[in-house]
Structure 1
Amino acid sequence: MDVNIIRQQTKGCSDKIFLNSAGSSLVPEVVTEKMVSYLQQEALTGGYALASQFAGELQELYVQAAVLLNCSPENIAYTTSATDAYAKALTAVNFKQGNVILTTDDDYISNQLSFLSLKDRLGIEILRADNLPNGDLDLESFEKLLISHEPKLVALTHIPTNSGLVQPAEEVGAICRKYDILYLLDACQSVGQMVVDVKKIGCDFLTATGRKFIRGPRGTGLLYVSDKVLAKGMVPLIFDNMGADWTGANEYKLAKTAKRFEFWESSIAGRLGLTTALKYINDLGIANIEQYNIRLMQQFREAFGKIDGLQLHDLGSRQSNILTFTTSNRPIEDTAQLLRDHEIYFSLSFRNFAVIDFSKKKLDSVIRLSPHYFNTAEELEKIADILHY
């Protein structure tokens, strides 16, 4: 990887320090060009006629996603967001009253709200596994809970949006396979940032978004669906003519692939933009991206650890490109404004984003920085210098 070339291909790098890839990252210029070109043609040709001309290129999305996740193109469904993908996966599970979802304290707000909705509507139970003192998931306790409660579904968030913690996706997958339990992994913050191999993880569903570390357009996402799920005939509660053929007045035949989880209507420009972003990652090599990010974050955390009055709040034996902190020498909003004054792009995370985690940490809000492989060590040193004052 040549970071200088990558920065040249990322227009938003030139006038700011962008550290919000966990929110919505900067897209490579080729992604913007692809989408704008398509929309300009669509204005002249019309949506249907132009889409048919791009049929082959649209299929490339499944190929590129499969390369990134190490699966078959038939296991990939296009969605409009990670939450869209997550909802479709959840509704494919035939929950009954009293069924258990086993999850953790370190989860995403939308996922937890979905569980609570299922609890209110269907009477399911939500069980959350314990953490070790260092923040890691207690795998021994997790397995005991799984044995004693026989959950209908295990739901894990690989990297929570409010913390740099990386949860043990492969180890959880091994436990789920051991007891033949369905496993849903929210990889919204990990895909595009690090190697995510569904064969090694062993999940039944995996959800991802285009707008974060994949560096694709907003309004795009991915759902991985395992061969086991497809063979069982599992399907979301609501599907359309993309998911099945209408074969008789009261009959239908499901699509054989993960496309049964798609809706027919979507933004073709968005699909092409996501395909381009996936190809960009695959050309660079996700293993190269991961190694660069690891080195970058090591430098980042070391520099921030030396700043008086700054407290890091990311737990766990493995940490990601999300870094959260507060400052004791000034109010957090003053620190946030200081960063804004220097054209540093970041985000704030609040207690209602992660009620359980923030309550345990006794926090109301944190500043969240999320660098990516187009950032440099020099940029991070500049931020550290700014925060020293």
Structure 2
Amino acid sequence: MPDLLTITDQEVDRFRRETPGAGKVLHFNNAGAGLMPRRVLDAVKAHLDLEAETGGYEAAATARPKLERAYSAIAGYLNCDPSEVAVMENATAAWNQAFFAVLGTMKAGETILTAEAEYASNYLSYLMARERYGIEIEVVPSDGDGELDLDALERLIDGSVRLIAVTHIPTNGGLVNPAEEIGRIARRHGIAYLLDACQSAGQRELDVRKIGCDFLSATGRKYLRGPRGTGFLYAGKAAAERFPPPVIDLHAARWDGRDHYNWAEGAARYENWENYEAGKIGLGVAVDLVLEIGAARIEKRVEALAGSLRERLEAEAGVAVHDIGRTRSGICTFTHPRLDATAVKTALGGQGINVSTSTVYSTRIDMEKRGLPDLVRASVHYYNTENEVDRFVEAVARL
């Protein structure tokens, strides 16, 4: 009997035919930006044409069902209500809305708990909160496998902790932090929980009911394979009422009296008026593709490809792989014995192979702890193939 979670070779062939870039480059930079499928590209172009031909406001009115589909598609992926979804211009805007909403309820001396592999943009906000408002930052140590240590998290919780903010899959290291276990601890103590799912959205199953987060932020351009300039925020109903947005406009609230306003219902209060409407439609199409294929099936294939890549890079290419965690993502990071990360990226790019680099400036605490100034980051997706893994390993071995 066939394994229903296995993506077949025939399906992969179809996915590649439907991806214009798949035949042009060997793309192992999905953690930077995934290759858009044709259906997403066509949806974006069609709406831009409609705007050019009829006007922006008029095109939005005509395309209302497609725009609304973005919310229901994301809700279907996250297992939440569409009213708990805000479509944003990017993951940074989504994360900032949630973080600064919680920060607005905090007082000097209260504490944020985070992880060693926290992303730079997030940690910079913690530093600014400490500098401006006297907020304390506590970094939860990692366990022996490199994941956030759940016992240490419990020990650090006291009456001052108001927020647990963690990156689910860090930008480097292959790690998948234990999001659901963190959520259970946060709920037990009544602490707000913000999960940065920028790298996990599109490559893993994400069920906010199981995770138990108050907020979840993500981008459209990475593993979801959506357009750049798109992202979204999940804001649970209770969280939206408890943590009002840090900024406001006439979309987020209604000015219903000279001296009074009312917030929009649900997560819409975290949005603003101006939107990339073509991108929003494209994002909905991209998420629909995830739902069509099945997030569990994507997760299984990505893990298998990345595992194969790690094993072969170490065994055949003579490089050091630096991935951590019991559960590992589609992000594979390594160092070359003679070349720095930028030189490896440049050399591979000259052969039509896309990778990116990760430096101490993006995840300082983790990288300093492990003595790593920079890493090559190769990130695979379900439309990549074992043949591409072969080609990639051979290319690295020849450097």
Give me the TM-score of the superposition, normalised by structure 1. Answer: 0.97
Amino acid at match of 2:185: I
Identity %: 40
1:229 aligns with 2:270: no
* 1:55 counterpart residue number: 64
1:382 aligns with 2:391: yes
1:300 aligns with 2:309: yes
Deviation at 1:338, TM superposition (A): 3.1
Amino acid at match of 2:361: N
* 1:15 counterpart residue number: 24
2:175 corresponds to which of 149, 161, 165: 165
Deviation digits for residues 286-329 of structure 1 (CA, Å, limit 9, x no counterpart): 11111111221221122122035310111111110011000114
1:86 aligns with 2:62: no
Contact 1:100 1:149 (8 Å CA) reproduced: no
- Give distance in 2, aligned partners of 1:275 and 1:333: 35
Deviation digits for residues 77-113 of structure 1 (CA, Å, limit 9, x no counterpart): 0111111001100121112111110101111110001
Amino acid at match of 1:117: M
* 1:372 counterpart residue number: 381
1:5 aligns with 2:41: no
- Give distance in 2, aligned partners of 1:41 and 1:280: 23
Deviation at 1:182, TM superposition (A): 0.3
Deviation at 1:52, TM superposition (A): 0.9
Deviation at 1:57, TM superposition (A): 1.7
Contact 1:348 1:366 (8 Å CA) reproduced: yes
Deviation at 1:244, TM superposition (A): 1.3
1:111 aligns with 2:122: yes
2:36 corresponds to which of 27, 31, 44: 27
Query: SS at the partner of 1:241?
Result: coil
Q: Greater shift after overlay, 321-330 or 201-210?
A: 321-330
1:184 aligns with 2:232: no
- Give distance in 1, aligned partners of 2:362 and 2:390: 29
1:197 aligns with 2:215: no
1:207 aligns with 2:217: yes
Contact 2:84 2:235 (8 Å CA) reproduced: yes
5+ residue gaps, structure 1:
none
Deviation digits for residues 261-293 of structure 1 (CA, Å, limit 9, x no counterpart): 100111111111111111111111111111111
Deviation at 1:331, TM superposition (A): 4.3
Query: SS at the partner of 2:361?
Result: helix
- Give distance in 2, aligned partners of 1:193 and 1:137: 20
**1:66–1:333 distance in 2 versus 1, CA, 3 Å:** closer
- Give distance in 2, aligned partners of 1:275 and 1:49: 20
- Give distance in 2, aligned partners of 1:294 and 1:349: 20
Deviation at 1:245, TM superposition (A): 1.2
Give me the TM-score of the superposition, normalised by structure 2. Answer: 0.94
- Give distance in 2, aligned partners of 1:149 and 1:368: 39
* 1:346 counterpart residue number: 355
Amino acid at match of 1:199: R
2:250 corresponds to which of 237, 241, 250: 241
Contact 2:306 2:379 (8 Å CA) reproduced: no
5+ residue gaps, structure 2:
1-6
Q: Greater shift after overlay, 32-41 or 174-183?
A: 32-41
Contact 1:118 1:124 (8 Å CA) reproduced: yes
* 1:68 counterpart residue number: 77
Deviation digits for residues 328-368 of structure 1 (CA, Å, limit 9, x no counterpart): 14444443333123211010111111111111111111100
Contact 1:324 1:368 (8 Å CA) reproduced: yes
2:279 corresponds to which of 244, 260, 270: 270
Aligned pairs for 1:80-159 (under 5 A) are 80-93=89-102, 94-146=105-157, 148=158, 150-159=160-169
Amino acid at match of 1:103: T
Deviation at 1:239, TM superposition (A): 1.6
* 1:250 counterpart residue number: 259
**1:381–1:96 distance in 2 versus 1, CA, 3 Å:** same
Deviation at 1:20, TM superposition (A): 0.7
Deviation at 1:133, TM superposition (A): 2.5
Amino acid at match of 1:9: E
Contact 1:350 1:366 (8 Å CA) reproduced: yes
